[in-house]
């Protein structure tokens, strides 16, 4: 749909109100406008950083949504490096993550991964966005395999110190444990909320706690096998 919405300023106001009421971290996901040509995309992201500087706990650069034509073409080392230079220039104080598509080229993943880490413009990666199909982005269960596969590949290409947030088809405590086994530092879920409702994260956390207690696991990162 090309990110149809009320515009950054109104959204920032709404988010600020929510944030003032409930003290939780707010990740702000930024996508360029549908009608902004790719050579001018950096300007859009700069405007968005500014609009959300008071609101965001962390930022996500979305260059992987299949529903905005041409957006995924920005998944290149060249673009991400140019945007990174602007992030350093503006001294963005929040962590900035880059969100990628499950079918990104290995070389692009490698060069984008090299821009993440301490003293680099990006904090880490979010893997993955939806699968591109003729009907739009495909999320949920069918994404479980491709998302996990890209996480595993990324862990062979980017330093262990670079955080990776895994997303795509996560529905259960087992799914969460599997992602940590393959090197995730955190997880997100979206589609599963449709089937299980807003109580799902609490349910998964309780399940995780009892599984970890049973198996003597102190922290999820102890599960890492890579």
Report the residue from 121, 124, 169, 183 that binds ligand FMN according to the rule CB under 6 A. 169
CB under 6 A: which stretch of 81-89, 110-118, 135-143, 174-182 binds ligand FMN? 135-143
CB under 6 A: which stretch of 39-47, 86-94, 100-108, 186-194 binds ligand FMN? 186-194
Number of residues that bind ligand FMN (CB under 6 A): 19
State the DSSP string of the chain: ----SS-HHHHHHHHHHHHHHS----EEEE---TTS-GGGHHHHHHHHHHHTTTT-SEEEEE---TTSTTGGGG-SHHHHHHHHHHHHHTT--S-EEEEE-TT--HHHHHHHHTTBSTTSSB-EEEE--PEEETTEEE-SGGGHHHHHHHHHHHHHHS-TTS-EEEESS--SHHHHHHHHHTT-SEEE--HHHHHH-TTHHHHHHHHHHHHHHHHT-SSGGGG---
Residue 12 sits in the site that holds ligand FMN (CB under 6 A): no
Active site residue 65: yes
Distance CA 224, CA 115 (A): 23
Query: Among residue numbers 92 through 121, which ones bind ligand FMN (CB under 6 A)?
Result: 99
Query: Among residue numbers 59 through 78, which ones bind ligand FMN (CB under 6 A)?
Result: 62, 65
Distance CA 115, CA 121 (A): 7
CB under 6 A: which stretch of 37-45, 176-184, 187-195, 207-215 binds ligand FMN? 187-195
Min CB(173)–ligand FMN separation in Å: 15
On whether the CB atoms of residues 143 and 128 are closer than 8 A, the answer is: yes
87 vs 89 by CB, closer to ligand FMN: 87
Residue 146 sits in the site that holds ligand FMN (CB under 6 A): no
Residue 167 sits in the site that holds ligand FMN (CB under 6 A): yes
Annotated catalytic residue, options 64, 65, 139, 191: 65
Closest Cα partner for 165 from 11, 13, 25? Answer: 25
CB under 6 A: which stretch of 81-89, 113-121, 151-159, 162-170 binds ligand FMN? 162-170
Residue 190 sits in the site that holds ligand FMN (CB under 6 A): yes
Min CB(31)–ligand FMN separation in Å: 6
144 vs 217 by CB, closer to ligand FMN: 144
Residue 139 sits in the site that holds ligand FMN (CB under 6 A): yes
Active-site residue list = 65
């Amino acid at each position: 749909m090309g990110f149809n919405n009320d515009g950054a300023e109104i959204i920032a106001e709404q988010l600020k109100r929510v944030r003032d009421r409930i003290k939780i971290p707010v990740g702000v996901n930024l996508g360029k406008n549908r009608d902004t040509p790719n050579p001018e995309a950096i300007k859009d992201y700069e405007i968005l950083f500014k609009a959300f500087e008071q609101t965001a706990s962390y930022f996500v650069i979305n260059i992987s949504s299949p529903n905005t034509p041409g957006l995924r073409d920005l998944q290149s080392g060249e673009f991400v490096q140019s945007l990174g230079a602007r992030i350093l220039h503006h001294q963005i104080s929040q962590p900035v993550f880059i969100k990628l598509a499950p079918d990104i080229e290995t070389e692009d993943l490698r060069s984008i991964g090299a821009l993440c880490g301490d003293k680099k413009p990006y904090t880490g990666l979010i893997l993955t966005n939806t699968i591109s199909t003729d009907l739009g982005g495909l999320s949920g269960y069918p994404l479980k395999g491709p998302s996990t596969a890209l996480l595993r590949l990324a862990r062979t290409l980017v330093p262990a110190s670079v955080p990776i947030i895994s997303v795509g088809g996560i529905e259960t405590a087992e799914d969460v444990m599997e992602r940590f086994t393959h090197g995730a530092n955190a997880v997100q879920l979206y589609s599963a909320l449709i089937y299980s409702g807003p109580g799902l994260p609490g349910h998964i956390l309780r399940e995780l706690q009892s599984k970890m207690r049973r198996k003597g696991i102190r922290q999820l990162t102890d599960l890492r096998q890579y």
